[in-house]
Structures are given as C-alpha cells and as structure tokens.
Amino acid sequence: MVGKPSEISITQISVEELAQRLSSADSSLQLVDVREPQELAIAHIDGFVNFPLSQFPDWADHVNTRLNPHAETLVLCHHGIRSTHMCQWLIVQGFTNVKNIAGGIDAYSMLVDPSIPQY
C-alpha cells in the first residue's frame, strides 16, 4: 500500500455531494475514514468506519469480510491524499464502486458543516 499512486483511475465525489448522500440516509453506502484515531477525536462525520492507514497490517486481511466489495464505498481522510491511496488499494482488492471524497474532512468542514473543527 505504501508508495506513489499508480495509474488506477479514482472516481471523486465532492463534499457537497457527500452531504446530499448522507442526508438521504442511504443505508447501502459504505463510509470509510482512513485517518488516525487522534484525528477522529478532533473531527469526524457520523457513520464512517475507521480503518487507520497506520494500522493497515491489523485490518488489511479482514477488509473483504468487514466491507462489501460491491457496495458503493466512499473514502475520507483529512485532505484527500490518503483516501486516494485507500481507494486504489480497495480497487486492487476487487472493490467495484469506490469513490474518493475530494478535499476530505477539511473541505467538508469549510464548505458543508462549519461545526466540524478544522485542524
């Protein structure tokens, strides 16, 4: 998982579109946050499951049993870089509908919900 992004094309979703999707209460969405626990303690969006990238060896072998590889999966981080890496890795694992949340929780806080702290 470590290294530069490869040539896999990643679909992006805007934070505004994320807000619309969250308000629709679509239960088929899988929401993944790859930030560290200390980051989640500062700012988080309800409904996201946490897979911290620093703990990759602890959860990598179980991701296919914890997530549905065919469900729409939206991936979040602070600015959108780590989540892009996670999206690429999920696609390699056979996930078929993965989207990166462009701008991450930082953009979500600025453009959608200013009550979420910035850091």
Structure tokens at 17: 């579109």
So which residues are the catalytic ones?
Answer: 77
Structure tokens at 1: 């998982």
Cα dihedral across residues 89, 90, 95, 96: positive or negative:
negative
Q: How far is CA 80 from CA 25, 26, 32, 35, 77, in A?
A: 23, 22, 12, 10, 6
DSSP E strand stretches across 1-97: 11-13, 30-33, 49-50, 73-76
